Amino acid sequence: MDGTDIKTAFFIAYKTITKGHKSTIALIIFILSLSFFNLMFVSGFLYGFSDGVMKSMIDNSTAHIIVMPQEEPTVKSFVYDQDRVRAEIETIPGIVGTARHYQLQGTLAYDKEKDGNFKYVSAQIIGVTQAEEKEILTVNEYMVAGIFPDNLKDDEIVLGANLSGGFDTKQTKDLGGATVGNKVQITYANGITRTYTIVGIFKLSMVGSIASAAFISTSEAENLLSTYNSASEIMVRVNLEKNTLDEYTKKIKGIVPNLELEKYTSRLSTVGILVTAFNLIAVIVSFISIIVSAITIFVMIYVNAVSKRRQIGILKAIGIKEGIIELSYIIQSIFYSALGIIGGLLVIFLMVVPLMTIRPIAMPYGDAVLVYTTLGIIINISSLIVAGILAGYIPAKIVAREDILKSIWG
Report pLDDT for 217: 96
Report pLDDT for 153: 94
Report pLDDT for 270: 62
In order of 44, 77, 332, 343, the CA distances from 36 in angstroms are 12, 55, 17, 8
CA distance 30 to 42: 18
Strands 156-160 and 193-202: parallel
Residues 6+ apart with CB under 8 A from 397: 326
CA distance 368 to 356: 9
| Local confidence pLDDT in tens for the 410 residues of the chain | 567 878 888 887 787 777 767 887 788 888 888 888 888 888 888 777 777 777 888 888 889 999 999 988 889 999 999 999 999 999 999 999 999 999 999 999 999 888 888 899 999 999 999 999 998 999 999 899 999 999 899 999 999 998 998 887 777 788 988 999 999 999 999 999 999 999 999 988 765 578 889 999 999 999 999 999 999 999 999 999 999 999 999 999 999 999 999 998 777 666 667 777 777 887 887 788 778 777 877 777 677 666 666 666 676 677 777 778 778 878 888 888 899 899 999 999 999 888 887 877 766 655 667 888 888 888 888 888 888 888 777 777 776 666 655 555 55
CA distance 129 to 215: 9
